[in-house]
Amino acid sequence: MRIDVLTLFPEMFTGPLTESIIKRAREQGRVEIHLWDIRDFAEDKHRITDDYPFGGGAGMVMKAEPVARGLEAVLSAGERAGVPVILLSPQGRLFTQEVAKELAAHPRLVLVCGHYEGIDERVREAGLVTDEISIGDYVLTGGELPAMVIIDAVVRLLPGVLGAPASAVEDSFYHGLLDYPHYTRPAVWRGLAVPEVLLSGNHQAIARWRRKEALRRTLLRRPDLLRRAELSAEDRVILSQLVQEEGVDLKGLLEEG
């Protein structure tokens, strides 16, 4: 996969893209990441990329032309078809594991980081971006951190990037549930013992325990996820036990949607 990022602050990306799993994925050629400085596409010698908002008000607005020129440099007219050009902004559709999977299926992505109070609306009106994504209902100082979040979530899904092929599949959210609890040595730490079943060597019993604990966590912390999760008949039986055990009120939750 190739990812191009247009940003006013390319240096912000250094840490996250040069460590750990993303670093290895780049070294192995599984992903190519190109950072483009929007200031390089400014029209004047002062490299100005923002201006006062028409209509007045606080803050500055990112000018359309430097972004447009940057996008035209990244993607020639002939390359544009089918490549998602994603603007990061709090007005976008919400980023989820589903969206990460959707993006991971593309051979190329272009990410545009907004800054200041926003970006001139005509960048959208001119059809220069094909998608707009928010990483959550809060406002950050710019689209750089969201772009890094998206790169991280997408790159770890690319074939061969994670060491163990099962780890991406078993993660939180992969089947729409939160993850089960994990333990490692020692078996007793500061008086706290690891659940017996995990030491039993009985793989079926371990898998059952893990599924139940994933369901328990989801029920207690994020019951909203249960509506869309892939639940088997056995899961539903376990859930009704958990509802009793935990004394929670699930009224209507599983029937909706």
Using CB under 6 A, count the residues that bind ligand ADE.
13
Terminal C-alpha separation, the chain: 35
- The nearest distance, CB 5 to ligand ADE, in angstroms, is 13
Annotated catalytic residues are: 90, 117, 156, 171
Is 7 a binding residue for ligand ADE by CB under 6 A? The answer is no
81 binds ligand ADE (CB under 6 A): no
CA pair distance 228, 175, nearest whole angstrom: 9
Rounded-to-integer distance, Cα 88 and Cα 194, Å: 42
| Binder of ligand ADE out of 38, 64, 86, 89 (CB under 6 A) | 89
Q: Of 116, 72, 66, give the one whose Cα is nearest residue 90.
A: 116
Closer of 115 and 216 to ligand ADE (Cβ):
115
Instruction: Tell me: does residue 143 bind ligand ADE (CB under 6 A).
Output: yes
Distance of closest approach, residue 127 Cβ to ligand ADE, in angstroms? 20
Which phi and psi (to 5°) does residue 167 adopt? Answer: -65, -35
Question: φ and ψ at 38, to 5 degrees?
Answer: -60, -30
Binding string, residues 34-73; x marks residues near ligand ADE by CB under 6 A:
----------------------------------------
Q: Work out whether 90 is an interface residue with ligand ADE (CB under 6 A).
A: yes
Which CB, 37 or 144, lies closer to ligand ADE? Answer: 144
User: What are the residues whose beta carbons fall under 8 Å from the beta carbon of 120, sequence distance 6 or more?
Assistant: 61, 62, 63, 64, 67
Per-residue binding letters, 120-139, with ligand ADE (x by CB under 6 A): --------------xxx-xx
* Maximum separation of any 2 CA atoms in the chain, in Å: 70
Stretch that binds ligand ADE, among 24-32, 88-96, 152-160, 165-173 (CB under 6 A): 88-96
Interface ranges with ligand ADE (CB under 6 A): 88-90, 114, 134-136, 138-140, 142-143, 146
